[in-house]
Amino acid sequence: MEYIYAGMLLHALDKKIDETSIKKVLEAAGAKADESRIKALVAALDQVDINEAIEKAAFAPAATAVPAAATTATEGAKEENKPTKEDTKKKEEEASAGLGALF
């Protein structure tokens, strides 16, 4: 996660996200930088619009929770439509795929 955080920090400061910058941030924070992870992160972020990805991540949980609660008017039907822990976990895993899969 620290690699992604380093990339997000650089993005928030309008700095270029490259291997050297990521390594400097990690080392300044006291982490040992793994060159292969840094290269993978930079390559993964090359074609990503970070602002768009952050927006989607910020609104995704609220957007998925509303339809399940609003689909029925009766309490019994609401019980049937509640997402199970397995459904929730599966959605979280799908959402964390991509950059999270690198680590």
Q: Is 83 left (phi over 0), alpha (psi -120 to 50) or beta?
A: beta
Are residues 56 and 94 located together in one domain of the fold?
yes
| Shared-domain flag, residues 95 and 64 | yes
Number of domains within the chain: 2
Three state DSSP letters for 31-98:
CCCCHHHHHHHHHHHCCCCHHHHHHHHHHHHHHHHHHHHHCCCCHHHHHHHCCCHHHHHHHHHHHHCC
pLDDT one-digit tens code per residue, 68-79:
555 554 455 555
Same-domain status, 62 and 82: yes
Q: Is the pTM of this model over 0.75?
A: no
Domain range enclosing 40: 2-45
Residues 39 and 59 reside in one and the same domain: no
pLDDT tens column, 2-43: 999 999 999 999 999 999 999 999 999 999 999 999 999 999
